Amino acid sequence: MSNFSPPSRRSFLFASGAGVALAGTAVAMHANSKEPALKLDAYKPEYFNADEWAFVLAATARLIPSEGDGPGAIEAHVPVFIDRQLKGYYGNAEIWYMEGPHDPAATPDRGWQSPLNPAQLYRKAIPAFNAACTERFGKEFKSLAAEQQDEALTALQKGEIKLDPELSLFFATLLANTKEGYFADPVHGGNHGMQSWKYIGFPGARASYAEWVDQHNVKYPLGPVSIKGERA
């Protein structure tokens, strides 16, 4: 995501790893035009406060934009997924090893390098990043034009916007959570209507998919099924 110009839907899917095995079919898939435009106004966040929620809506919308031939983060309910994850055991790092020392400069294979759990990371990083945006652009992130939002996220990604060392994982965590929410089973709040699965041709939780594993570049003829048995 150099210069943070919004990636094409296809390049994002392939870069995330989810589209690699389906490269032969993803090029032919399109979002289901029957999906209604998603309105999140009625959703009451379980973890985020109003300012945090506004930021997550704006940031995820730039990480996976709605313009393109597939669903964006907003259409896929990605903010809902992140909110619910931070409210639960992931956000609280309940089963993580969190003892120090922590080295913000460590390579990713060294694991989580912050004394903050993910929920605390979002809570502290969002106002810090908003303050940096205000200093740089004169407005908080949610109020910036799309091009400025992309510029701000790029600067955060590259370390040009400096946050405290304990917040250094924020961009990587936000991006990872956005991808997770985009491809997760809808039971977790994201991938609304299984739109992302339909777009890449993923069968979901179908028990009868085994015979298709070795049939490369062959379009799977059936729509996805969720863990709860919902069909798309």
Residue 113: inside a domain: yes
Residue 227: inside a domain: no
pLDDT band, very low/low/confident/very high, at 68 (cuts 50, 70, 90): confident
Tell me the C-alpha to C-alpha distance, in Å, between residue 30 and each of 45, 71, 159, 192. Answer: 30, 9, 35, 15
Print burial letters for 76-87: b (CB count within 10 Å at least 16), e (below 16).
Answer: bbbbbbbbbbbe
Structural tokens at position 110: 């060294």
Domain that holds residue 89: 2-212
Residue 147: inside a domain: yes
Decide if pLDDT at 181 tops 50. Answer: yes
Residue 221: inside a domain: no
| Mean pLDDT calculated for residue range 24-43 | 46
pLDDT band, very low/low/confident/very high, at 11 (cuts 50, 70, 90): low
Residue 84: inside a domain: yes
Residue 10: inside a domain: yes
What's the mean pLDDT when you consider all of the chain? Answer: 83
At 99-130, the pLDDT tens digits run: 888 888 888 888 888 899 999 999 999 999 99
Q: How many domains does the chain have?
A: 1
Q: Please state, in angstroms and rounded to a whole number, the distance separating the CA atoms of residues 116 and 45.
A: 21
Decide if pLDDT at 159 tops 80. Answer: yes
Residue 77: inside a domain: yes
Residue 230: inside a domain: no
Q: How many CA atoms lie within 13 A of 157 on its CB side?
A: 16
Torsion of CA 155, 158, 160, 164, to 10 degrees: 110
Model pLDDT, residue 177: 97
